[in-house]
């Protein structure tokens, strides 16, 4: 009888090494700020017939400050600092709005800063974290814990190899998807991206 | 009177008082709205002032700041509080920087093309639409995508955002975490109450609701809520004045009881002696509740002050009773003189009734009823209840010596001349303004509250309470049209730094003509389809995506222009309703201004709009109202003085005797005025009321001293009664004179000085001593 009562405890205890494994892995992704990486993003949206592609550079400036610079097709810089998003376009006056109203960015900030800062506990606060690992390739799946954010962003999937994240895929609740190719992969955006050819490019854990 | 009959009389009296109390409890409605205590406005500006004092958008605004937690928590608290207040019918508007697109409801959404100025300069042709769509594509690739993609099919030109920008206060504070923050890191909100701004009762309720809503929020425990604004101030001032008046009242009541016990050495006399004043107060309030539907709080406060005269009646009865004489005999002897005193006081208070001011009329009804009730009960009920045997106060130790001392004082016949001369000189050379026209100077606010208000007002860009831009027209639409033509001129003044910002009704709703002009620029469905199709060429947008946009444009093109009546029903309409009001046969638009530095420049605008636009200075209008108010009171007092002269002369049947009563009273009154003015105190309405009370008391002293017989014992009784009256008045009002609140100090100081001067002058100018 006593043994039976212990089974749930045992199974709980067994999950711990896995969690600490994920934590140890996340710590390996740590980079000192400022950390910059080129990106190319394809957005598949219901309002569009074909995906929208932009490219530029993502930078973590330390703390909760993030910069997303778009170079093509039109130059635009978006900065996140102190809960405010400021968008600056060439020849336009800057536009600001609250991070609260842009859940996409909030999620991006939480995941990016936690990963680059090597902070698994912050990642765990904001998301339900699942790690799948192959020999080289790995996949982190993040599901937002905040119900308000989950209403808009259903999941983030980050694929990588070694200590380099290569792809970030953000799934919105309405079916829209944004796929970012990061680092070396950023130059490999297909001329006509599809969900399938991008998935193949990203690879990820088997 | 037999013991049984006495007890029966006492029980009847107490029952009558209880009956009055019951009547009052059932009928008394106390109003705290300051306006009902003001005279009827005569000029258009004064009329507007009276409306603005209560209903104006500026005076109903409460400024709210939350601090004491992390930014994130403060933002959540700000959102939580505004959500609660928006659903509370006590508030007509709550804004915290978090612009809610739902504020323009679905039915009114197509009207955005008529409300937004876009079509004044652009038209929905191929080039314009292509440029807009290009920008939207950039938006979709940007972090703002989630924000905008929902709007896109219906509103590709983002008119809703343009309206949001237009309707956000011009100098709005920094936005952090989606809500306003001050430079000190407090979350800021602007709350407009439905209740009138200067109605402390209703404002107190609204403030309690805000505090309760805040306290009920999760995580509000560590955070701190700061409130400011006219409504909050009226509540603070009310509470401060009341609490100070309360503790002063308690101390002076104890002093008064001790004094009465020392003077008459009888608990029974003390308790019974209180009955006439209580009867007067209850009867006064009861008659007021029957005559008026609402009783003003200030009437009650002033009324109780003025009713202080009535305490003299039982004191006279108690002091003037000889040993062995029954109280009934004693009151018969006193009555002619008492009746003269009561009648004169009533006549003086009649002046208030003639003033034509609602609150003062009530005051007259209250005090006259009160004095009559106190006088009649002193005459017809109190004597039957007093103990049979009392100590004759004439033998009070020291009294004879005091009387002798007073009798030995030199009393030159020419005394009034130098006293009058000194008074005149003091009045002529007194420093500072004679009158205090600024009502707010009487109830000053603590400096830190004013500093907080100025700081929050600056950060929020909240409108000044002092200035309003008035736009007039025969119809609401005329007002909107004029308001529209004022807009560019006001923008020019803002550019010239004459003021910081302004808000006009036409910013919310353009006139019909402008809406029609914008309608005329909207393309017909075929033309719009063609432009849209050509603009969409080579763009990745889904072909049928913009059907809702085409639908809305067609709705806006064919709908009747939006009227104020329809707009007011939308959540944003409350803002317009506060700015666009009907008054009689015409309409008035109320433009709010903030940071006015050059009022003359703004006022000069009026000349170009044929009298339809003018700057209203609420402070100036209120001061002119106070001046008019005072003029009426002074006129009424003049009439009362003439009546008093006649009454006293008739009652005493001698001009010479009347002179002996009225001369010291008048001289003392002017002496009080002169001393206060020489001390640099500008006089207010409250000083006038206090002077009237002092004069009422002075009349008693003069009447009784004038009556002085050759009987030294009776002389000592008169002195005893007068000294008890003077000391009790000095006790009550001298305490008030120390108050930190100018209103209470004004009343206390004036009455104390008055009582002292009246006492001295009526003794020194009494006739009998000179005949010695």
| Tokens linked to B725 | 């009256």
What count of CB pairs under 8 Å joins A to B?
89
How close A83 comes to chain B (CA, Å)?
Answer: 5
Q: How far is CA B21 from CA A18, B246, B299, B371, B484, in A?
A: 80, 21, 18, 18, 58
Mean pLDDT, residues A135-143 taken together: 88
Q: How far apart are CA B301 and CA B273, in angstroms?
A: 22
Question: Which of B100, B137, B143 is best to mutate for the A interface (most A CBs within 10 A)?
Answer: B143
Asked if A47 lies within 8 A of B541 by C-beta distance, the reply is yes
Asked if B545 lies within 8 A of A47 by C-beta distance, the reply is yes
Tens-place pLDDT, residues B654-663: 888 888 888 9
- Residue B211 predicted with pLDDT over 90: yes
ipTM: 0.82
Tens-place pLDDT, residues B294-339: 887 777 877 887 787 888 899 989 888 888 888 888 899 889 889 9
Tens-place pLDDT, residues B171-197: 677 777 778 888 888 999 989 888 877
Q: What percent of chain B has pLDDT over 90?
A: 23
Residue predicted with more confidence, B637 or A77: A77
Mean per-residue pLDDT of chain B: 85
Question: Is B81 within 8 Å of B217 (Cβ atoms)?
Answer: yes
Residues of A in contact with B543 (CB under 8 A): 49
Mean pLDDT, residues B209-237 taken together: 89
The residue of chain B with its CA nearest to that of A78 is: B143
Alpha-carbon Rg for chain A, nearest whole angstrom, is 18
Asked if B140 lies within 8 A of A98 by C-beta distance, the reply is no
Contact residues of A toward B, CB < 8 A: 41, 43, 45-52, 54, 68, 70, 73-74, 76, 78, 80, 82-85, 87, 89, 95-105, 108, 152, 172, 176
Question: Which of A76, A90, A100, A156 is best to mutate for the B interface (most B CBs within 10 A)?
Answer: A100
Q: What are phi and psi of B769, to 5 degrees?
A: -65, -40
Of B137, B143, B542, nearest to A85 by CB-CB distance is B143
Asked if B143 lies within 8 A of A101 by C-beta distance, the reply is no
Question: Is A82 within 8 Å of B175 (Cβ atoms)?
Answer: no
Of B75, B140, B143, nearest to A52 by CB-CB distance is B140
Asked if B149 lies within 8 A of A70 by C-beta distance, the reply is no
Domains and CATH numbers, chain B: 1-31+265-391 (1.20.1640.10)
| pLDDT value at residue B408 | 85
Q: Cα B380–B382–B388 angle (5° rounding)?
A: 115
Asked if B540 lies within 8 A of A101 by C-beta distance, the reply is no
How close B144 comes to chain A (CA, Å)?
Answer: 6
Beta-carbon contacts of B114 under 8 Å, excluding residues fewer than 6 positions away, are B510, B515, B518, B519, B556, B559, B561, B562
Alpha helices (runs of H) in B391-469, residue ranges in sequence order:
399-408, 416-429, 447-460
CATH fold group of domain A22-202: outer membrane lipoprotein receptor (LolB), chain A (2.50.20)
- Residue B17 predicted with pLDDT over 90: yes
Asked if A99 lies within 8 A of B138 by C-beta distance, the reply is no
Q: What percent of chain A has pLDDT over 70?
A: 87
Asked if A99 lies within 8 A of B72 by C-beta distance, the reply is no
- Residue A15 predicted with pLDDT over 70: no
């Amino acid at each position: 009888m006593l043994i039976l009562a212990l089974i749930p405890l045992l199974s709980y205890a067994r999950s711990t090494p896995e969690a600490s494994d994920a934590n140890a892995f996340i710590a390996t992704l740590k980079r000192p700020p400022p950390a910059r990486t080129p990106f190319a993003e394809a957005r598949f949206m219901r309002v569009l017939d074909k995906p929208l592609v932009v490219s530029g550079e993502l930078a973590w400036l330390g703390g909760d400050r993030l910069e997303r610079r778009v170079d093509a097709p039109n130059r635009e810089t978006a900065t996140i600092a102190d809960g405010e998003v400021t968008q600056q376009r060439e020849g336009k006056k800057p536009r600001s709005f609250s991070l609260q109203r842009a859940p996409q960015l909030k999620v991006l900030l939480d995941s990016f800063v936690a990963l680059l800062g090597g902070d698994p506990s912050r990642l765990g606060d904001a998301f339900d974290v699942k790690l799948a690992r192959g020999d080289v390739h790995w996949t982190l799946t993040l599901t937002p814990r905040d119900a308000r954010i989950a209403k808009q962003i259903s999941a983030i999937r980050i694929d990588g190899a070694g200590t380099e994240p290569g792809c970030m895929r953000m799934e919105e609740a309405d079916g829209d998807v944004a796929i970012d190719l990061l680092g070396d992969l950023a130059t490999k955006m297909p001329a006509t991206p599809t969900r399938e050819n991008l998935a193949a490019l990203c690879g990820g854990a088997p | 009177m037999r013991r049984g009959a006495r007890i029966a009389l006492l029980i009847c009296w107490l029952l009558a008082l209880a009956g009055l109390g019951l009547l009052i409890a059932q009928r008394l409605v106390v109003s705290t709205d300051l306006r009902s205590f003001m005279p009827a406005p005569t000029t258009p500006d004064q009329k507007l002032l009276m409306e603005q004092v209560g209903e104006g958008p500026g005076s109903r605004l409460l400024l709210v700041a939350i601090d004491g937690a992390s930014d994130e928590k403060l933002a959540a608290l700000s959102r939580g509080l505004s959500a609660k207040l928006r659903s509370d019918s006590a508030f007509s508007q709550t804004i915290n920087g978090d612009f809610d697109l739902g504020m323009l409801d679905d039915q009114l959404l197509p009207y955005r093309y008529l409300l937004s100025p876009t079509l004044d300069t652009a038209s929905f042709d191929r080039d314009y639409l292509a440029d807009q769509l290009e920008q939207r594509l950039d938006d979709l690739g940007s972090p703002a995508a989630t924000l905008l993609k929902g709007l896109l099919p219906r509103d590709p030109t983002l008119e809703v955002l343009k309206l949001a920008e237009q309707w956000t206060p011009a100098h709005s504070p920094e936005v952090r975490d989606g809500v306003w923050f001050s430079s000190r890191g407090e979350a800021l909100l602007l709350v407009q109450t439905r209740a009138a701004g200067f109605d402390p009762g209703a404002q107190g309720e609204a403030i309690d609701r805000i505090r309760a809503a805040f306290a009920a929020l999760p995580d509000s425990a560590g955070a701190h809520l700061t409130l400011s604004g006219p409504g909050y101030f009226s509540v603070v001032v009310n509470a401060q004045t009341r609490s100070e008046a309360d503790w002063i009242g308690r101390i002076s009541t104890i002093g008064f009881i001790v004094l009465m016990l020392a003077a008459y050495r009888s608990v029974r006399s003390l308790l019974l002696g209180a009955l006439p004043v209580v009867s007067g107060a209850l009867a006064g309030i009861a008659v007021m509740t029957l005559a008026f539907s609402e009783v003003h709080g200030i009437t009650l406060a002033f009324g109780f002050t003025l009713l202080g005269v009535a305490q003299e009646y039982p004191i006279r009865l108690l002091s003037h009773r000889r040993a062995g004489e029954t109280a009934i005999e004693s009151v018969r002897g006193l009555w002619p003189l008492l009746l003269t005193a009561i009648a004169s006081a009533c006549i003086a208070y009649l002046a208030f009734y003639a003033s034509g001011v609602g609150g003062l009329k009530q005051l007259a009804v209250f005090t006259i009823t009160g004095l009559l009730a106190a006088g009649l009960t002193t005459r017809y009920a109190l004597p039957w209840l007093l103990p049979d045997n009392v100590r004759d106060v004439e033998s009070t130790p020291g009294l004879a010596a005091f009387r002798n001392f007073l009798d030995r004082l030199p009393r030159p016949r020419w005394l009034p001349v130098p006293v009058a001369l000194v008074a005149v000189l003091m009045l002529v050379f007194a420093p500072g303004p004679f009158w205090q026209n600024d009502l707010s100077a009487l109830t000053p606010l603590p400096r830190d509250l004013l500093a907080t208000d100025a700081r929050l007002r600056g950060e929020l860009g909240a409108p000044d309470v002092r200035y309003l831009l008035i736009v007039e027209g025969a119809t609401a639409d005329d007002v909107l049209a004029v308001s529209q033509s004022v807009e560019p001129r006001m923008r020019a003044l803002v550019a010239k730094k004459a003021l910081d910002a302004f808000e006009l009704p036409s910013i919310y709703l353009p006139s019909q003509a402008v809406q029609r002009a914008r309608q005329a620029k909207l393309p017909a469905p075929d033309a719009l389809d063609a432009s849209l199709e050509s603009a969409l060429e080579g763009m990745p947008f889904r072909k049928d995506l913009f059907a809702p946009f085409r639908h809305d444009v067609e709705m806006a093109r064919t709908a009747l222009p939006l009227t104020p009546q329809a707009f007011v029903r939308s959540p944003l309409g409350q803002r317009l309703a506060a700015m666009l009001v009907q008054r009689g046969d015409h309409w008035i638009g109320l433009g709010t201004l903030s940071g006015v530095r050059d009022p003359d420049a703004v006022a000069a605008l009026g000349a170009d709009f044929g009298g339809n636009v003018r700057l209203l200075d609420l402070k100036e209008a209120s001061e002119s109202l106070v001046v008019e108010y005072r003029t009426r009171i002074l006129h009424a007092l003049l009439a009362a003085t003439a009546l008093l002269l006649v009454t006293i002369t008739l009652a005493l049947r001698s001009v010479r005797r009347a002179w002996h009563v009225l001369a010291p009273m008048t001289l003392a009154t002017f002496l009080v005025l002169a001393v206060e003015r020489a001390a640099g105190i500008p006089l207010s309405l409250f000083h006038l009321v206090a002077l009237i009370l002092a004069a009422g008391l002075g009349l008693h002293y003069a009447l009784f001293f004038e009556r002085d017989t050759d009987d030294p014992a009776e002389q000592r009784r008169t002195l005893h009664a007068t000294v008890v009256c003077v000391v009790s008045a000095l006790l009550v009002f001298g305490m008030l004179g120390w108050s930190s609140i100018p209103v209470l100090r004004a009343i206390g100081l004036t009455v104390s000085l008055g009582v002292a001067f009246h006492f001295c002058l009526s003794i020194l100018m009494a006739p009998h001593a000179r005949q010695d």
